[in-house]
Amino acid sequence: MCELLAMSANVPTDICFSFTGLMQRGGNTGPHKDGWGITFYEGKGCRSFKDPKPSAESKIAELVTDYPIKSESVICHIRQANSGAVCLENTHPFIRQLWGKNWTYAHNGQLKSFSEKLAVEHHIPVGTTDSEHAFCWILDKLYIEFGRDEPDTQTLYEFIAKHASQINQLGVFNLILSDGEHLFAFCSNNLHWITRKAPFGQAQLIDAEVVVDFKQETSHSDVVTVIATQPLTNNEQWHKMAAGQWQLFNKGICVLSSV
């Protein structure tokens, strides 16, 4: 299956450290060699980099690793294809516009009978993956339920969580979703998270010989939450989400949760 990585922070923060570790799993320390992508938010705008080549061999991934883009919300995905060909249009994350916002989505897992069980009408997939199809179905449901008026935060994400649970019945549906302000995570079977804040310490990557001392890279008031399919460091305490659990982060803080 694929692997996910996301970040929510209270100040613009680069994700180079975590990204370096994840990229090695794309064809080097892991089997996820069927493409990768990452989206950074900057205000209401976002910039996205994608490549259907293995991330461990990608020149674009090298550029992103070496270029410390700072953002408060980031979503990243490395792909092990099980639905749809290996090509750019099937490479996560997927981005669609709704209510004047860029919504970014990435999925880990596999869904059965998705085209039959998840009929779409208003948001038509560009590619052929179960992942993008499920995203379009969620957007359809949001548009049908709320029309042109975005609901309040709690109503919105409880609605998304309800439909994520419905999709999860078709297989495995680990989901990361962001509108640039909030970061939503739904766990089907594998999602881990860690919140880094003062007092900061050192962290050692599992997949690369890289150590960072966050005391030298942060201020006392910084709060940064990282979400990943599997822990990326071997000397920090990561928290595993329970099956069916969802959490909503804003500026690094969990503001809504199913538990």
Spatial CA neighbour of 196 closest among 249, 236, 138: 236
Torsional sign, CA 43, 48, 49, 53: positive
Q: How far is CA 123 from the centre of its chain?
A: 20
For residue 194, list its beta bridge partners.
226
* The two three-digit tokens of residue 71, written as one number: 């953002």
Euclidean distance between the first and final Cα of the chain, in Å? 26
Phi/psi of residue 5, nearest 5 degrees = -150, 135
b/e sequence 185-209, b meaning 16+ C-beta within 10 Å: bbbbbbbbbbebbeebeebebebbe
Q: 187 an active-site residue?
A: no
**3-state DSSP assignment of residue 172:** coil
Phi/psi of residue 213, nearest 5 degrees = -100, 105
Catalytic residue selected from 2, 46, 76, 187: 2
Report DSSP state, residue 244. T
What region, left, alpha or beta, does residue 232 occupy, with left being phi > 0 and alpha being psi -120 to 50 degrees?
alpha
Residues acting as catalytic residues: 2
